[in-house]
Structure 1
Amino acid sequence: MKKSPIFSKLLYFINAVFATVLLLSYLLPYISPKSIATFAILSLGVPFLIVINVIFFVYWLIKLKKHFILSGLILAIGWLFASPFYKFSERKVLLNDDVKVMSYNVHLFNYYKWNKDEQTSQKIVDFIAEKSPDILAIQEFYKQTDLSLSYPYKYIKLKSKRNKFGSAIFSKYPIINSGSLNFEKSANNAIFVDVLKNEDTLRVYNVHLQSLKINPNKENFGEENSEKLLLRLKNTFREQAKQTEQFLAHEQQWKGKKIICGDFNNTAYSWVYNQIVKDKKDAFVEAGSGFGKTYNYPFPARIDFILTDKSTQINQSKTFAVNYSDHFPILARVNWEK
C-alpha cells in the first residue's frame, strides 16, 4: 500500500526536529554547564541523535526522496567538526619502547555484587595481568586484602580512612612524585603521579569526574521523578564543570610529557571533554576503530578516555568488551617522537 503524502510530511517533520536538535548539539562543547546546565544534558543524547539521523538518511535515500539531504548535510557537518562517532580504520604500530597505558573503572571490583559471578573481582585482576599495561589507572578502586595487582609502584588515594574506595595508579616505572586534587564534597577525584622512564619524567593523571548516578533499569520517569532527575543532572554537570576547571588549573602547570586517563562521566560531545582535550591527542581519535564504546549499555557511549600531549605518537587504541564492570577497559600504546 502506498503511503499517503500526509504520512511522508509528518515523518519529514519528525526528521527535521531530530536534525535540528543534532545541529544545535554541535554547540555543546562551547557552552559551560555553569551557564546553561540544562543544555549540557543534551550531550548524553548526541549518540542517539546521530543514530536517528542516520536511519532517516538511509530511509529517504532508499525511497529516492531528496529529503535525505537534510540529515545527510547535518551528519556531514558533524563528521567534519565534531568528535568522531565511529572510526573506520585503526592504527596499530607495536614498538618495543611503547608505553602501554590502561584506564579502567572497575566498579569497586564488584564489591557490592552487582555481577552475580562470584569470580568477577578475580577476573578483573587476571584480565589486567594478561594485558600487562605499564601504567594502570583505576577509577572506583576498592581496597581488598584478597586481591593483588602485581606492580612494583603504586599510588592509591582513598576517600577517607574509613572508606576503602577511591582512585589508584599502578606503574612498572618508578613513581617519584604523587598527589591528589581532592574534589570538594564529592566521592570522585583526580590524582596524579610522576613516573621515571629512562631519562624521561611522565606526568600521569587519573581523572574521575562527578558521577551521573543514572540507572536506566531502575529510574522512574514519572513527571515528579523526572523533574528530580533533571535537577540532579543539572547539579552534576555544574559540579563536573567546577572539577574540570580545578583539574585544568593544576594540569596546565605541568609543561612536560603527560598522559590523562579517566572516566569523565560525559561524552566526547560535552564541554568538559572539549576543555580537557585542548592541545592534546585523544587515543581513540588517533588510533581507534569502531564506536569506541566504553560504557556497558546497549547504546554506544564513549565516556572513558586516554589523552596525551601533542608530542606523543599514539600507536594503538583498543577497547575490550569484557563484562566485569559497568565500564569497559581501554588501552593505548604511546610513544614520543625523537
Structure 2
Amino acid sequence: MTALVERTGREAGARPGTGSGGTGTWRRGWLIAAAAVLSALVMVGHTRMPNGFGNPGSLLETFLPWLGMSVPVMLALAAVRRSAAAGVAVLLPAVVWCSLFGGLLMDKRSAGGDLTVVSHNVNDENPDPVRTARDLAATSPQLLALEELTSHTAPAYERALADTYPYHSVQGTVGLWSKYPLRDVEPVAIMPWTRALRATVDTPKGPVAVYAAHLASVRVLPSVGFTTARRNEAAVKLADAVRAEPLPRVVVVGDFNGTTDDRALRPVTSQLRSAQEEAGDGFGFSWPASFPVARIDQILVKGVIPVSSRILPPTGSDHLPVAAALRL
C-alpha cells in the first residue's frame, strides 16, 4: 500500500504543467508573452497609430524610445513566473527596439567641423539671463540661436553677448548671434506673432541659410488629450519656407516641441537630417532639464555634414542647450 501511494504521488507530481520544470515552463506566462508581442507590434507599427482625437500617435512617438523600458520589466516578470514562453517572447520587443534605436547608442562623434552651432530655449522666466548667455558663449560656437526671448530679457542677452558676437538679430522671441556677417535677416511667418527667423550667414566657406524657430507649445489635457494643432500648423509653414530656400546649404535649429519621430513634424524633418542622429552619442534628450525624457530641441541640416552633436550643461532654463559641429 505504501509503495502504491508513493508511485501515485510521483505520477501526479510528474503531470505536465504542474511541476517546476519540463513543459510547465512553456505553459505559464502567456499574458506576459502576449504583452511582449503587443509591445513589439506597437514599436513596429507606431506610424499606424491613429492620430485622431487626442493625437495618440504623436504622443506615442514623442516618447517612443521609452517603450524599451518594457523589456527589462517583462523579462523580470518572466523570471518570476519561470516562464520559458514569456522569456522567449520578450526577445521580440528587444530586437525591435535595438533595430529602431540601437544605432543611437553608438558614439558617432568625431573631431573637426567648419561651423559650430548652439541652440537653446532660454526660458522666458530664466532667473539669470546674463549668466546663461556667458555660459553659452563659453562653449565657443560661431552661431548661437536663442528661443523664448522677451522684451525684458532680450536686451540682457544682447549686452552679455556683444563682445563675443559682432553680428546679431532678434526677431520677436527668437534671436541669432554670429561671429560671421549676417544678411537678408527676416522673420518667418509661422505663427500670428514672430517666433522664427531666417538669415544668410557669410561663413569663410560660403553662405549658409540659417533658420531659428520656436514652434507652438503642446499640452496634455484630460479633456482633449495631446493638443498639437498650432504646433503642426507652424511646422507646415516652416517646411514651406525651407522648401522655397534657394541656398543649397541649410541649417534649421530651435525648439520644435516635438521629436523627429513625431509624424506631425515630417513636413520639416523629411527635408532635413538630424545632426544628433547622424553624429551624436545617445538620444540627446533635452527636455525637461531636471530629468530629460525627450529631444524636442533640434539641429537639422541639408547640404552640410554633421561632424558631432551633443547636449550642453544645464543653464537657468527648463531646456538643455543643444550643439552641433558641421562640415561645410
The normalised TM-score by structure 2 is: 0.78
Could you tell me how far apart the structure 1 residues matched to 2:174 and 2:235 are?
17
Match for residue 72 of structure 1 among 68, 88, 91? 91
Q: Tell me whether 1:189 sits opposite 2:195 in the alignment.
A: yes
Could you tell me how far apart the structure 1 residues matched to 2:118 and 2:143 are?
6
Q: Tell me whether 1:153 sits opposite 2:149 in the alignment.
A: no
Match for residue 203 of structure 1 among 203, 209, 226? 209
Q: 1:61 to 1:330 in 2, by over 3 A?
A: farther
Could you tell me how far apart the structure 1 residues matched to 2:189 and 2:264 are?
18
**Count of residues in Structure 1 that have an aligned counterpart in Structure 2:** 297
Larger radius of gyration: 2
Counterpart position of 1:261: 253
Could you tell me how far apart the structure 2 residues matched to 1:17 and 1:188 are?
43
1:22, 1:50 within 8 Å by CA — same for their partners in 2?
Answer: no
Which secondary structure does the structure 1 equivalent of 2:170 belong to?
strand
Aligned counterparts, 1:60-139, within 5 A = 60=78, 65-80=84-99, 82=100, 86-95=104-113, 98-108=114-124, 110=126, 113=127, 120-139=128-147
Residues 137-167 of structure 1 show CA distances to partners (whole Å, capped at 9, x for unaligned) of: 1111234344421321112112xxxxxxx11
Counterpart position of 1:162: none
Counterpart position of 2:187: 180
One-letter identity of the residue aligned with 2:150: Y
Could you tell me how far apart the structure 2 residues matched to 1:19 and 1:84 are?
15
More moved, 50-59 vs 254-263:
50-59
Where structure 2 has 5 or more consecutive residues not aligned to the other structure, the ranges are 1-19
Counterpart position of 1:12: 33
Counterpart position of 1:302: 295
Which secondary structure does the structure 1 equivalent of 2:149 belong to?
strand
1:106, 1:139 within 8 Å by CA — same for their partners in 2?
Answer: yes
Q: 1:56 to 1:307 in 2, by over 3 A?
A: same
One-letter identity of the residue aligned with 2:222: S
Counterpart position of 1:325: 317
Using the aligned pairs only, state the percent identity: 20
Q: Tell me whether 1:288 sits opposite 2:306 in the alignment.
A: no
Shift in Å, 1:172? 1.0
Counterpart position of 1:21: 42
One-letter identity of the residue aligned with 2:188: L
Which secondary structure does the structure 2 equivalent of 1:72 belong to?
helix
1:188, 1:209 within 8 Å by CA — same for their partners in 2?
Answer: no
Which secondary structure does the structure 2 equivalent of 1:173 belong to?
coil
Residues 282-315 of structure 1 show CA distances to partners (whole Å, capped at 9, x for unaligned) of: 1111111123111125353111111111x32211
Residues 218-237 of structure 1 show CA distances to partners (whole Å, capped at 9, x for unaligned) of: xxxxxxx6224x1xx3xx42
Could you tell me how far apart the structure 1 residues matched to 2:101 and 2:215 are?
20
Q: 1:261 to 1:57 in 2, by over 3 A?
A: farther
Q: Tell me whether 1:42 sits opposite 2:60 in the alignment.
A: yes
The normalised TM-score by structure 1 is: 0.76
Could you tell me how far apart the structure 2 residues matched to 1:279 and 1:299 are?
26
More moved, 193-202 vs 64-73:
64-73
Q: 1:321 to 1:60 in 2, by over 3 A?
A: farther
